[in-house]
A and B are shown apart, each in its own frame.
Chain A
Amino acid sequence: MNYSDTSITASTPFLSLENVRKTYPGVVALDGFSMEVRPGEVIGLVGENGAGKSTLMKILGGVTTPDTGTVTVDGIAHDGLTVEASLGSGIAFVHQELNLFENLDVAANIFFGREPLRAGPLKLVDRARLRTMVAPLLKRVGANFSADTPVAALSLAQQQMVEIAKALSIKARLVILDEPTSSLPLAETDKLLDVIKALKADGISVIFISHRLHEVERVADRVVVLRDGMLAGTLQKSAINHDQMVKLMIGRMLKEREKASEAARAPGAIALSAKAVRTPAYPGRPVDLDVRRGEILGLAGLVGSGRTELARVFFGIDSSLGGALELGGKPLVLGSAADAVAQGIFLVPEDRKLTGILLDLSIAQNISLPNLPAHARRSLVSASAETATAEKQKTNLGIRAPSVQTRTGTLSGGNQQKVVLGKWLAMNPKVMILDEPTRGIDIGAKAEIYGLMRALADAGVAVLMISSDMEEVIGVSDRIAVMHEGQISGILDKDQFSQENVLLLAVGKQPQ
């Protein structure tokens, strides 16, 4: 390995792992894994779900101890870290799911449990001092909001900044960002990447875990690739590129964007049509949009641009405050999701665990739920009919589970998403709306879900895909509609696809 071209190599590593092995009943989560993190170094950590990233994080956080191997932090060797040792040596985490109190303001969140107190027996919070303590932290992360803003009023990227400020407040020397950008749109992602660069400039090390490889490419000094619990490879700055990372992650080259550049298809008839529809989020901004049969229409835009709200109207969860919907040219009135389902309009929602599936029910029970009367005789549920439908979907979709009676809560994210898809594919979709269908799903399952969407479109279904992942939107869609502040700011045809064009429309400008 050649470190000589960078200046940081001279210093001793802040963190080094040597030959770490960790097993769980039935699985080897990490095996002979070694890595180093130097002060001020940004490490991109990539790997499919199940490659061992979470186990690695647990070891670094002191939540679990390795079976063998050593963890050296700041020159002190440990057999395993404790939570206290991890915190004490300045390792801080920013998790994918943010741990903020939405009802409290920024300052209260950053110093929660460590508030400066006024003298006296009442232990009142010294608000003035708290504010002076928070101000420099917010400045360091480049925050454009004040310390007394309620967290609920912040965007996701801003909330992540609060988390990072929190990490800085405990004098972190290594900040571990776990999928920080998976729910951020491009513009906000840029802000976050700037924050990472600022941390680096201050000599703080960063481990950046992400499925979004082009971001890793932009920000990482070195990329560590995990595969099946082992170090699949390390890429130095000059060698970091998308295809290399993917190759190491899956051990082969993916024909991911196969057929993506295929000639534009002949557009089908209009399936779902919105005419001056107004969502509760943007009541003053009418939306016109047509989704055609046989196409995948990508719906891009910044978080908060009203995409999910539009999907909720199409699915009957929210009612439109004006305008009209049409399905196949006929007026469509939706009073509830049940009405949409009856018309063959299905939604794979953004939040799988809260709205997509019932974690406590089995695969079979989830799949039959929207169409239960068809699985019943005289209103009594037929377990055999349920099992038959579920088995069919399990085979079709390649759901990996011991049986269809398995509780969905025990499945991986990708398999849970397939269950959500399965419950709709078991019926006859006319319009399929997918809201961030591949969020938090590993690359292999992603490719399968893209394949399914394409198969649906080929079968004449109108597919509407909401996505904040630029590669995905451009790679999968036949047309891209971009939303900006509640309105469609433009629709791109295949020959106009480019990241710049989507981004320009997303911020409300016209493409060149």
Chain B
Amino acid sequence: MSKKDLGLLILILVVGTIVAIINPRFLLPINLANTSNLIGLFGILSIGQAFVIITGGIELSVGSVVALLGTLFIDFIAVRDLDWPLAFVLIIALGAIIGLVHGWLITRLKLQPFVVTLCGLLIYRGVARFYTADGTAGFAFGQNFPELEFLTAGRSWGVPNSFIALVVIAIVMWVVLHRSVFGRYLYAIGKNEEAAKYSGIRTGRVVMAAYVICGVLTALSAIYFAMYTRSISPASHGQFYELYAIAAAVLGGFSLRGGEGSLIGVILGTVLLQELQNLVNLLGIPSSLNFAVMGGVILIGVLVDQQWGVFRARRLMVDAARKNVAGAAAE
């Protein structure tokens, strides 16, 4: 765990302690379970985003993808009576295809990631609303899918299964990002894509794979979100979720220029964001201020981190100068 991650963890614990002192309900099992469920949902989404950001890209369409794929998933199993495992596979495949198309447009046709995914944001939202004729997709009364519901919205030993899913995915993705050949390529491309290309790396494929990973994880979280809300109005479902994901990555130490950030960082970023949401509710802050609190904390976090870097660089220089003076005096 890097110093940056450790700092973030300490911040999470400090904020948690303060909230718990002011409002002890923070520590009630029901509150912790709800919060960790949300951490699970948003964490899966944010890991996907992190893989794209590490290449120096951005994926703005994930909120709309959550809406579209969530709508389709509920439609598949509730209206079209598909077996849920089949629907599950279809949705994941669709997520992969969306990622592939984005990656292809970005790497082969050299479009900017911001532009491609901004168009995606608009297109998928529009398609989702059209698909339901601006209505709501939901389950009929009495419809249930015990296994699916257990896996997505259920709990094991009191822990939400969505949170357990996040832990499993995080471990796998940690290995991929920090230990695998592919992960090294991602960092290399994020640092300097040209130099990576001149080292014989097929940069286009690697970047495309990052978008596919993002698409798959987004699709998975779309299913989790759908099963959590159980009814979806595509006009608002998943709105701004791309920003939550980007915020989690930035809080976790990712640079939007690429090449920087850790998997633990993005998870901790997600935890902090959800903790703040919870804080707004528990401390009786008007919920209309929700975004303002989040924005403020992210800004302060990034600022402190940056200033700390400047301070450290200065201190190193002063130390070196002192040593030099001491050395000269000793001569």
Interface residues of A (CB under 8 A from B): 23-26, 315, 317, 336-338, 340-342, 347, 349, 354-361, 365-366, 369-370, 372-373, 376, 379-381, 423
**Cβ-neighbour of B198 out of A317, A365, A379 (below 8 A):** A317
Q: Tell me the nearest residue of chain A to B323, going by C-beta.
A: A25
**Cβ-neighbour of A338 out of B175, B192, B201 (below 8 A):** B201
B171-197 interface (Cβ within 8 A of A): 175, 179-185, 187-188, 191-192, 194-197
Q: Bound state CA distance, A355 and B195, in angstroms?
A: 4
Contact call A347/B324, Cβ cutoff below 8 A:
no
Residues of chain A within 8 A of B183, CB atoms compared: 381
Contact call B324/A369, Cβ cutoff below 8 A:
no
Contact call A380/B196, Cβ cutoff below 8 A:
no
- Least distance between A51 CB and chain B CB atoms (Å): 21
Contact call A360/B259, Cβ cutoff below 8 A:
yes
Contact call A356/B188, Cβ cutoff below 8 A:
no
Contact call A361/B188, Cβ cutoff below 8 A:
yes
**Cβ-neighbour of B324 out of A26, A315, A423 (below 8 A):** A26
Residues of chain B within 8 A of A340, CB atoms compared: 200
Residues of chain A within 8 A of B259, CB atoms compared: 360
Contact call A25/B321, Cβ cutoff below 8 A:
yes
Given A340-B200, A341-B200, A380-B175, the answer on whether A358 and B195 have CB atoms closer than 8 Å is yes
Residues of chain A within 8 A of B188, CB atoms compared: 358, 361, 365, 369
Residues of chain B within 8 A of A360, CB atoms compared: 191-192, 259
B25: CB under 8 A from chain A? no
B202: CB under 8 A from chain A? yes
Given A25-B321, A354-B194, A354-B195, the answer on whether A370 and B181 have CB atoms closer than 8 Å is no
Contact call A349/B198, Cβ cutoff below 8 A:
yes
Contact call A342/B195, Cβ cutoff below 8 A:
no
**Cβ-neighbour of A381 out of B179, B191, B192, B195 (below 8 A):** B179
**Cβ-neighbour of A358 out of B175, B192, B200, B320 (below 8 A):** B192
Contact call B181/A376, Cβ cutoff below 8 A:
yes
Contact call A357/B195, Cβ cutoff below 8 A:
yes
Interface mask (B194-222 → A, CB under 8 Å = 1, otherwise 0): 11111111101000000000000000000
Contact call A381/B199, Cβ cutoff below 8 A:
no
Q: Bound state CA distance, A65 and B223, in angstroms?
A: 64
14 contacts between A and B (CB under 8 A): A336-B197, A337-B200, A338-B201, A338-B202, A341-B199, A349-B198, A354-B194, A357-B195, A358-B196, A369-B184, A369-B188, A369-B199, A379-B182, A380-B179
- Least distance between A32 CB and chain B CB atoms (Å): 16
Q: Do most interface residues of chain B lie in helix, strand or loop, or is the interface mixed?
A: helix
Contact call A365/B184, Cβ cutoff below 8 A:
yes
Q: Bound state CA distance, A366 and B184, in angstroms?
A: 11
Residues of chain A within 8 A of B187, CB atoms compared: 361
Q: Bound state CA distance, A25 and B323, in angstroms?
A: 8
Of B192, B199, B204, B321, most buried by chain A (CB within 10 Å of CB) is B199
Given A317-B198, A358-B192, the answer on whether A379 and B320 have CB atoms closer than 8 Å is no
Q: Bound state CA distance, A310 and B140, in angstroms?
A: 67
Contact call A379/B180, Cβ cutoff below 8 A:
yes
Given A23-B324, A25-B320, A26-B324, the answer on whether A381 and B184 have CB atoms closer than 8 Å is yes
Q: Bound state CA distance, A227 and B165, in angstroms?
A: 64
Contact call B323/A361, Cβ cutoff below 8 A:
no
- Least distance between B230 CB and chain A CB atoms (Å): 39
Q: Tell me the nearest residue of chain B to A380, going by C-beta.
A: B179
**Cβ-neighbour of B192 out of A317, A336, A347, A359 (below 8 A):** A359
Interface residues of B (CB under 8 A from A): 175, 179-185, 187-188, 191-192, 194-202, 204, 259, 320-321, 323-324, 328
Residues of chain A within 8 A of B194, CB atoms compared: 354-355
In order of increasing CB-CB distance, the 4 nearest A-B pairs are A341-B200, A25-B320, A370-B200, A25-B324
Contact call A338/B180, Cβ cutoff below 8 A:
no
Q: Bound state CA distance, A337 and B196, in angstroms?
A: 10
Residues of chain A within 8 A of B201, CB atoms compared: 338, 369-370
Residues of chain A within 8 A of B181, CB atoms compared: 372-373, 376, 379-381
- Least distance between B262 CB and chain A CB atoms (Å): 15
Residues of chain B within 8 A of A372, CB atoms compared: 181, 184-185
Contact call A381/B200, Cβ cutoff below 8 A:
no
**Cβ-neighbour of A347 out of B196, B198, B320 (below 8 A):** B198
Residues of chain B within 8 A of A381, CB atoms compared: 179-181, 183-184
Q: Bound state CA distance, A354 and B196, in angstroms?
A: 10
Residues of chain A within 8 A of B179, CB atoms compared: 380-381
Residues of chain A within 8 A of B320, CB atoms compared: 25
Q: Tell me the nearest residue of chain A to B194, going by C-beta.
A: A355
Q: Bound state CA distance, A240 and B200, in angstroms?
A: 46
Q: Bound state CA distance, A243 and B46, in angstroms?
A: 64
Given A25-B320, A360-B259, A381-B180, the answer on whether A317 and B196 have CB atoms closer than 8 Å is no
Q: Bound state CA distance, A277 and B259, in angstroms?
A: 36
- Least distance between A269 CB and chain B CB atoms (Å): 25
**Cβ-neighbour of A356 out of B180, B182, B198 (below 8 A):** B198
Residues of chain B within 8 A of A370, CB atoms compared: 199-201
Q: Bound state CA distance, A360 and B260, in angstroms?
A: 10
- Least distance between B234 CB and chain A CB atoms (Å): 39
Q: Bound state CA distance, A342 and B201, in angstroms?
A: 11
Residues of chain B within 8 A of A423, CB atoms compared: 199
Q: Tell me the nearest residue of chain B to A366, going by C-beta.
A: B199
Q: A358-B196, A379-B181 are in contact. List 6 more A-B contacts (CB 8 A).
A: A336-B202, A356-B195, A359-B192, A360-B191, A360-B192, A379-B182
- Least distance between B270 CB and chain A CB atoms (Å): 26
Q: Bound state CA distance, A296 and B200, in angstroms?
A: 23
Q: Bound state CA distance, A24 and B188, in angstroms?
A: 33
Q: Bound state CA distance, A381 and B188, in angstroms?
A: 14
Q: Bound state CA distance, A286 and B197, in angstroms?
A: 26
Q: Bound state CA distance, A376 and B182, in angstroms?
A: 11
Q: Tell me the nearest residue of chain A to B328, going by C-beta.
A: A23
Q: Tell me the nearest residue of chain B to A427, going by C-beta.
A: B200
- Least distance between A40 CB and chain B CB atoms (Å): 40
- Least distance between A153 CB and chain B CB atoms (Å): 23
Residues of chain B within 8 A of A24, CB atoms compared: 324
Contact call B324/A355, Cβ cutoff below 8 A:
no
- Least distance between A377 CB and chain B CB atoms (Å): 10
- Least distance between A29 CB and chain B CB atoms (Å): 12
Residues of chain B within 8 A of A347, CB atoms compared: 198
Q: Bound state CA distance, A357 and B197, in angstroms?
A: 11
Q: Bound state CA distance, A23 and B324, in angstroms?
A: 9
Given A361-B188, A372-B184, A376-B181, the answer on whether A355 and B202 have CB atoms closer than 8 Å is no
Residues of chain A within 8 A of B180, CB atoms compared: 376, 379-381
Residues of chain B within 8 A of A25, CB atoms compared: 320-321, 323-324
Contact call B196/A369, Cβ cutoff below 8 A:
yes
Residues of chain B within 8 A of A337, CB atoms compared: 197-200
Q: Bound state CA distance, A408 and B324, in angstroms?
A: 25
Q: Tell me the nearest residue of chain A to B178, going by C-beta.
A: A381
Q: Bound state CA distance, A105 and B201, in angstroms?
A: 37
Residues of chain B within 8 A of A317, CB atoms compared: 197-198
Q: Bound state CA distance, A380 and B188, in angstroms?
A: 16
Q: Tell me the nearest residue of chain A to B183, going by C-beta.
A: A381
Contact call B191/A361, Cβ cutoff below 8 A:
yes
Q: Bound state CA distance, A425 and B216, in angstroms?
A: 39
Residues of chain A within 8 A of B182, CB atoms compared: 379
Q: Bound state CA distance, A181 and B192, in angstroms?
A: 28
Q: Tell me the nearest residue of chain A to B192, going by C-beta.
A: A358
Contact call A338/B191, Cβ cutoff below 8 A:
no
Residues of chain A within 8 A of B175, CB atoms compared: 380
Q: Bound state CA distance, A119 and B151, in angstroms?
A: 74
Residues of chain A within 8 A of B198, CB atoms compared: 315, 317, 337, 347, 349, 355-356
